[in-house]
Amino acid sequence: MKIVVLDWKTMTMNDDISPSVLEQFGDVKLFSLTKPEDAAENIGDADAVLCNKVPITREVIDKCPNLRYIGLFATGYNNVDIDYAADRGITICNAGQYSTNAVAQQVFAYILDHSNRINAYNSAVSQGEWERSEIFSYFPVPTCELAGKTLSIVGFGSIGRAVAKIGEAFGMNIIVSTRTAPKDCPYRVTDIRTAAENADILTFHCPLTEQTKGLVNSDLLSVMKPGAVLVNTSRGPVVVENDLADALNSGKIAAAYLDVLEQEPMSPETPLKTAKNCVITPHTAWAALETRERLLGIVCDNLRAWLAGSPQNKVN
């Protein structure tokens, strides 16, 4: 079997993960990165393609008549025309839940950064402000306890549940907003507007769909508390960037922490680049070494299951 990997560079940092494990399944052709216009040529006559973000469109599929399997180094699959692939009998398998721990951890890194202001105080100490203090404790920057604060979680898959569990350990009040009412949920479940109105922290863990695209807009932001913080580690287009920048610059909400943007790599034109109290990380929540090793393992398991005739984690 011929296997093509289109964007291996998205999986490794300084070659800290080896692709050699894939060789057990057949002949592997590895591309560091693939431009969208080169996808069909690079896939060629391969039986299976593995990729992260390269678009696999109808046009690409039509030019690759041997293609029978698409394996994703990702949970999201909006880069693949899944309906057309299904019509052509092509199986698509994603890698769900590989990043649960890492993303939940980063969400609370953001929350703790805002509540404890570690970076602000470290900077103050470095600049000699504590040395000049009249008292033993120097605390001009407000901090707060998380206990008793309301954490509103939009999307209640594996990551949303993990975030809720950590928030509960901090003594936070948990509110959940999700398209499908979860069974045996120990938390208050409500609509998105009510979740936003009550949130001290509003965090997004929903997939990108027609319903969630632009979900964070001026209307939703208008009902949030002035001291509220918005966190997005889901998908960039969930947020209308101009609306969020306006809310931050006007003081409508206190801060935003974002690991995803509408355009990635980030466009220099995004209004969030210069928005007040907006912290942006370059899509790193999933990128811990252990997380990427787990992801590769799931991709291999998916491929093995498909070859055995019992595909798992199918999205089409």
pLDDT for 8-62, tens place per residue?
A: 999 999 899 999 999 999 999 999 999 999 999 999 999 999 999 999 999 999 9
Average pLDDT, the chain: 96
CA count, 13 A, side-chain hemisphere, 251: 0
Residue 59 confidence (pLDDT):
98
Residue 295, pLDDT > 90, answer yes
Both 143 and 244 in a single domain? yes
Using one digit for the tens of pLDDT, what is the confidence trace for 191-210?
999 999 999 999 999 988 89
Instruction: Look at residue 193 and tell me if it is in a domain.
Output: yes
Residue 208 confidence (pLDDT):
86
Structure tokens given for 63 = 């030019």
CATH number of the domain that 226 lies in? 3.40.50.720
Residue 76, pLDDT > 90, answer no
Both 158 and 267 in a single domain? yes
- Active-site residues, by number, are 235, 264, 283
Closest residue by Cα to residue 292 from 9, 76, 53: 9
Instruction: Look at residue 151 and tell me if it is in a domain.
Output: yes
What is the domain range of residue 46?
2-98+289-307
- Whole-angstrom distance, CA of residue 218 vs CA of residue 241: 10
Structural domain count, the chain: 2
Both 92 and 140 in a single domain? no
Both 61 and 159 in a single domain? no
pTM of the model: 0.91
Both 300 and 276 in a single domain? no
Using one digit for the tens of pLDDT, what is the confidence trace for 225-249?
999 999 999 999 999 999 999 999 9
Instruction: Look at residue 213 and tell me if it is in a domain.
Output: yes
Instruction: Look at residue 50 and tell me if it is in a domain.
Output: yes
